[in-house]
Chain A
Amino acid sequence: MDKMVTLKVNGKEVTVKEGTLILDAAKEAGYHIPTFCYQENLSGVGSCRICLVEIEGQKKLQPSCVTPVMPDMSVKTDSATVVAARASMLEFLLSNHALDCPVCDKGGECELQDMVYKFGPRKGRFGEEKVRHHEKDYILSPVIIKNSNRCVSCMRCVRVCNEIVGRAVIGAVGRGAHQEMTSFLRSRLDCDHDGMCIEVCPVGCFMRLPYRYTARTWDLKGAKTVCPYCATGCAMAIEERDGTVVRAIARLGEGWNDRLLCARGRFGYDVLNSAERIKTPLLKVRGSFKPVSWDKALDIVRDRFTKADPQKLGGVASARLTDEELYLFQKLMRSVLNCGNIDSTSRWDDRAAAAFISEAGINAGGVTLYDCMNADTVFVMGGTISDENPVTDYIIRCTSAGRFMNVIIASTRAMKLDSSALLSVRHTPGRLGPLINAVVLSLYGDSRERLKGVEGIAAVKDSSVDELSGACGVQAAAIKAIAGKLRAASSVSLLVGTDFLRLKDGLSGLGLLKRALGALGKELKILPFLDRTNQRGAWDMGVHPLFGPGYREVEAGLGCHGMLDRAAGDGMDALYVIGTDIVGLYPDRGFAEDALSKIRFIVVQDTFMTETAEMADLVLPAASFGEKAGHITNQEGRVQKISALLKPPGEAKTDLEIIASIGSSISPGSMEGDPDAVFEEIIKEVEIYASAASSGEAGWLAGEAAAPVCGVMVKKGGSLREAMHRKAVEAGVPAGEAGSKPAADPDYPYYLVTGNHLFHSGRLSRRSGILKGLLMDPAVEISGSLAEELGIADGDRVEVRGRGYGARFFARIRKGSPRDVVFIAENFCEASVNRFFRRGETVPRVNITVLK
């Protein structure tokens, strides 16, 4: 129990926890103290002195944002002295402020403007010349432009860059009045371009370059939405002027993520303004697309779908659609077309997904990232979280700092979060299973009694840590250290990423680790970190061949993998693809192209012409995020509402309307395209969504939602969960094979791994001009040691060659990655990484040659 302190604020008695700041105590008592440099989540500096308060018995005024409360303190927040001091502080700040408000982009939403208007002196006495750092604004990054003459030295940018983004690009350069918050030599260094410095800047010192001089804040019309670029599900608002989206912004206190957004979220909005959008239904006539009317397009779809054999019909819907759309999609396929062949991705095996859902407890309810971070030890594995889910990385970083670095990382590549982790290990790609098994084995070593009954322990108990350590490429000492940390913790959180799905490796290990930690009595939480914004929603809605809405058992169908198999075999009658690019992302492009070419009718419904759409017989124009309303479920299980800001371009319609009209044309009256009505149906059909509906804007899945602990999940059992658990074991790599180190290959000595780039997500973000400005050409990421060995400098041209395919890339060097791991993001259409893959092979081998 925390010790409580009682104090008086303006004569009103208030009791707060020991160590609370006066600022927060005053808030509790109902008094607002204005602040400038203070921001929640950032360390206190007390530099702006706006929040000065009078404390009885102390001669000098004290800054309330850094002064903790003391027992029997008497604080005055609005006395004449305080009010006068506040006004003088503002006069000081203005004495060296550029005061070019009519030109400044911040004008209208500037904290300094507001503050001076409210509390400020109406005139200044400073008659000297102001310090000018530069005449013209200078560009700090392709998205950030800077005017230091407006700086009020609150240091928020410096702190956010250090403490949350973890880059430390910005620092305070110079002293006194000449101090400037900028980067070293005003260069961009290894900036993440996430614009957090812009968001926290109270004045117009850091500004958005794409938004520069386009509008005033009061011109903008906004709508709340959720970032479409990863499953962190950051709430944000997109704002338009005259039909053009000009910025995306996350405001303090509006979404669960407050101001946090990454480069993709903050600057990837311009896909909505793209001129390349599909605007009319297009029918392929003799090899080229011709615009057709919606009526004709729907007639063709109805005709082909009803004539198709349900076994030879299939549908793949993107995990970027809303819950409503995904629900209606599976309803169309299952109830109207009697077809169980549906999937939400082309990138991984549906059985691996089922196993992952079961082992990560996704079907049991949601858990917040903040709750996860409260654990004694947080084990992050199966993905490069700093690149895949940047905002999750930010939240982990700032909470980890307050929790004495409770993070352990196991990944194939180095990442930014390493610096905030207690321990981070690099394992051989595709050998996460042996690493987890080795950790379990270390735990087993001194808790044999408690662990001997754990299911699956028999498979690992006879191997040795050293043997497994050799297989996964992690030193035995590090494995023992991880096990030691897990053993010592009373609560453990596992953050599990998409490598489990992509590489199908470690799934059985994850289940084993979960059960072992449960048997050791740890309070366990598991949070998946996923790369598509509504992946969890897609699974909840039953867009999966093995289960229906709410993870109910259904007649099993084929996943994307199986559909392509069938197509390559005796062909498929029809395939309905919504928003996903099978050709571009299926891990074996040649096979996917071949299989798709054997499908007699492909209808693709998308916002842009994708490589899959080029192969389609009919293309339907769909609405993008920002043009439709609905709900999105993020990786935590948080159900958030999104709303429409713009009208879809041309004749495009929302996916919900299209699916509903296809459904109604086949079976009249079966569907309606109203998001509210569909969500009502979801609440009735999917019991875990009942609480999400009642809580309005953002909801939680019901059931044991708040904190699904491993014990509860195992106890509850249920036939489906057991069935899914069996699939987990099937999908995982057999223990014998995984126990060995991959054989050396002298011709192709490096492992190729893939995933999303920090600035891109799937293929959609490549349509954003701003994000392309951050990373234009396909890049290959190689480790610092390999670069040194081959004499490659950052930006050099290299050729990456695998068996059967080679392409040229720019080299990007990532220090700290293992020497033999090469990374190419899956986002580049120009050099599609899936050409390197062959079916059944999860980690291709490649060679690198330097081009002179």
Chain B
Amino acid sequence: MRDSRIETVKVKSLESGVRWILKRTFFVDFIKGLMVTLGYNLSKGVTLRYPDEEKWIPYRRFRGVHTLNRDLDGRELCVACELCVKACPTRCITVVPMEDSTGKGISDRVAGVWKVDLVRCLFCGYCEDACPTTAVRLGRGYERACFDLSSAVLDKEKLLLPEEVPPDLDGGVIVAASFERTGAGMKVNADFTKLKGDWLKMQG
């Protein structure tokens, strides 16, 4: 038993010696490596081609850029109670109330100024929790790269605009997108009708 085993080892070492020479001669390992590269080159990619072709749409629970909301009649929900300001740990929200009895808001008290400094914001969501009227919500916007910090301060007019992501879209998906660079700035145009599938599943 013991002897035969020793023999086998000997044979193997003889064979491996030959193989070693052959491998060295014909660059086998090198070609194997190239085959892997070639395989990946030919297989379907896992890279998210953001922003040129694709864009990831966050889940509903995502805490992105703030939104100010309206009720079903289109009245502003914010009553400028300033509780979000009070709750904010980074003091990035500024609210100044004013009176407006034209029915613009759900009460006579509306926000004259409502702005948030996203450079300071840490997206903790305390403002959402504090809001008694569900006026402020952290939305699904996350593209805040900019060259000028002043554009990181969003005011009431911008925050009241409807969100880019359609409310009925669940999120966690990738959609088709294109990247646009103009004199005014850069923009990622997403096409929410072209779903490219669930991002998690795509990860296998």
Contact = CB atoms under 8 A, between A and B. Distances in A.
Interface in A75-103: 100-103
| Category for how many chain B residues contact A | 10 to 19
B189 interface: no
A100 B86 contact: no
Interface string B81-124: 11101100000000011110100000111000000000000000
8 contacts: A100-B107, A102-B132, A103-B109, A136-B108, A137-B108, A215-B96, A216-B85, A242-B96
A102 B107 CA distance: 10
Contact of A103 (B98, B101, B107): B107
Given A136-B108, A137-B108, A218-B86, A103 B99 contact: no
A802 B160 CA distance: 64
A213 B98 contact: yes
B4 to A, nearest CB: 85
Contact of B109 (A213, A218, A219, A242): A213
A292 to B, nearest CB: 37
Interface in A197-220: 212-216, 218-219
A102 B99 contact: no
A212 B99 contact: yes
A100 to B, nearest CB: 7
Nearest to B100: A213
Given A212-B99, A216-B85, 20 more contacts: A101-B132, A102-B79, A102-B81, A102-B109, A102-B133, A103-B107, A103-B108, A107-B81, A136-B101, A136-B108, A213-B80, A213-B98, A213-B108, A214-B96, A214-B98, A215-B97, A216-B86, A218-B82, A218-B86, A242-B96
A130 B86 CA distance: 30
A71 B81 CA distance: 50
A148 to B, nearest CB: 15
Interface in A440-467: none
Nearest to A218: B86
Contacts of A136: 101, 108
Nearest to B133: A102
A242 B133 CA distance: 26
Interface in A215-237: 215-216, 218-219
A218 B85 CA distance: 10
Contacts of B108: 103, 136-137, 213
A74 B86 CA distance: 45
Closest A-B pairs by Cβ, 4 of them? A102-B81, A213-B97, A216-B82, A103-B109
Contacts of A218: 82, 86
Interface of B: 79-83, 85-86, 96-99, 101, 107-109, 132-133
Interface of A: 100-103, 107, 136-137, 212-216, 218-219, 242
A485 B107 CA distance: 59
Contacts of A102: 79, 81, 83, 109, 132-133
Given A137-B108, A213-B97, A213-B99, A103 B86 contact: no
A144 to B, nearest CB: 15
Contact of B79 (A103, A212, A214, A219): A103
Nearest to B83: A102
A242 B95 CA distance: 12
A214 B81 contact: no
**Which of B81, B86, B98, B132 has the most chain A CB atoms closer than 10 A to its own CB?**
B81
Nearest to B113: A242
A219 B132 CA distance: 19
Contacts of B109: 102-103, 213
Contact of A214 (B83, B85, B86, B97): B97
Contacts of B99: 212-213
Contacts of B82: 216, 218-219
Contacts of B98: 213-214
Contacts of A107: 81
Nearest to B111: A213
Contacts of A216: 81-82, 85-86
Contacts of A242: 96
Contacts of A213: 80, 97-99, 108-109
A136 B133 CA distance: 19
Contacts of B132: 101-102
A216 B107 CA distance: 16
A142 to B, nearest CB: 15
Nearest to A137: B108
A219 B91 CA distance: 12
Nearest to A209: B99
Nearest to B81: A102
Nearest to A217: B82
Nearest to A219: B82
A107 B82 CA distance: 10
In the complex, which of the residues B82, B85, B132, B133 has the most CB atoms of chain A within 10 Å of its own CB atom? B82
A214 B83 CA distance: 14
A641 B109 CA distance: 37
Contacts of A103: 79, 81, 107-109
Nearest to B135: A102
A102 B132 CA distance: 7
Contacts of B79: 102-103
Contacts of B97: 213-215
A102 B133 CA distance: 9
A14 B132 CA distance: 47
Contacts of B81: 101-103, 107, 216
A217 to B, nearest CB: 10
A779 B97 CA distance: 36
A213 B95 CA distance: 11
Contacts of A215: 96-97
A214 B82 CA distance: 11
Contacts of B80: 213
Contacts of A212: 99
A117 to B, nearest CB: 15
Nearest to A241: B96
Nearest to A242: B96
Nearest to B131: A102
B175 to A, nearest CB: 37
Contacts of A100: 107
B135 to A, nearest CB: 10
Nearest to B107: A103
A107 B130 CA distance: 14
A784 B16 CA distance: 129
B75 to A, nearest CB: 14
Contacts of A219: 82
B61 to A, nearest CB: 25
A137 B86 CA distance: 26
A616 B79 CA distance: 50
Contacts of B101: 136
A690 to B, nearest CB: 46
Contacts of A137: 108
A242 B97 CA distance: 13
A107 B80 CA distance: 12
A107 B83 CA distance: 10
A387 B97 CA distance: 35
Nearest to B97: A213
B132 to A, nearest CB: 5
B92 to A, nearest CB: 15
A212 B108 CA distance: 11
A677 to B, nearest CB: 37
Contacts of B133: 102
